[in-house]
Amino acid sequence: MRKLLLAGNWKMNKNVAESVELAQTLVEKLKGITDKDILICPTFTALSEVSKVIKGTNIALGAQNMYFEKNGAFTGEISPDMLKSAGCSHVILGHSERRQIFNETDEMVNKKALLALEEGLIPVVCIGETLEQREAGEALGVVETQLRGSLNNIVGDDILKVIVAYEPVWAIGTGKTATPVEAEEVHAYIRKIFSDIFGSKNAEIIRILYGGSVKPDNSAELMGQKDIDGALIGGAALKAEAFEQIIKVAK
């Protein structure tokens, strides 16, 4: 049985003081929850302070991105070692906004995932199609290409540390959500492709999250699907009550 993971991606929101305040509220609201894993991903500037707030609690800390080199002359970038020293255990890679706005490719996401694993971070690898691709009937093909490209050359037990997040680009921040049936179709396909590449046993272990306008009023039905193992939550994760509600109704 795969344990649900509810991850909050705060994106470019909340300064350090606001992030600490939200983290403190979440610690109080979510204490005692042990049947699900909880992850929050603040901005880089808030990581260290939020880490202090959630240390020793049931909430893990993740970053929203990292670079694929360990160090060097890469102005404005951040390394896995820096993230670990700030308290991170997870890192989101290849989010649709990174792919769309900053032109990240599967190859870049793959290099980041390989380095994250090498450095002891758990990568949350994001994949998903645009509205044009879905309307053209290309959704499954796009997702397969991204999955294969982003997870290339990951071998052995490392693959079991990877978390996949399916986030249809057309449902990110638009208020539109894939129906539970639409989401489950893609999640089941991702698990099938994963099985083809890494074996059926590993495919049953890996967690596949859904991301795309997840809210308290749609999360229970989404999380109830066979191949949906949690959620990558954006806007609703910025409100403690909404994030709490999503986590508590998820089964």
- The residues assigned a catalytic role are 95, 167
Cα(40)–Cα(27) distance, integer angstroms: 11
Cα(139)–Cα(202) distance, integer angstroms: 24
Q: Show the tokens assigned to 22.
A: 């939200």
Question: DSSP states of the chain as a string?
Answer: -PPPEEEEE--S---HHHHHHHHHHHHHHHTT--SSEEEEE--GGGHHHHHHHHTTSSEEEEES---SSSSSS-TT---HHHHHHTT-SEEEES-HHHHHHS---HHHHHHHHHHHHHTT-EEEEEE---HHHHHTT-HHHHHHHHHHHHTTT--GGGGGG-EEEE--GGGSSSS----HHHHHHHHHHHHHHHHHHH-HHHHHHSEEEEESS--HHHHHHHHTSTT--EEEESGGGGSHHHHHHHHHH--
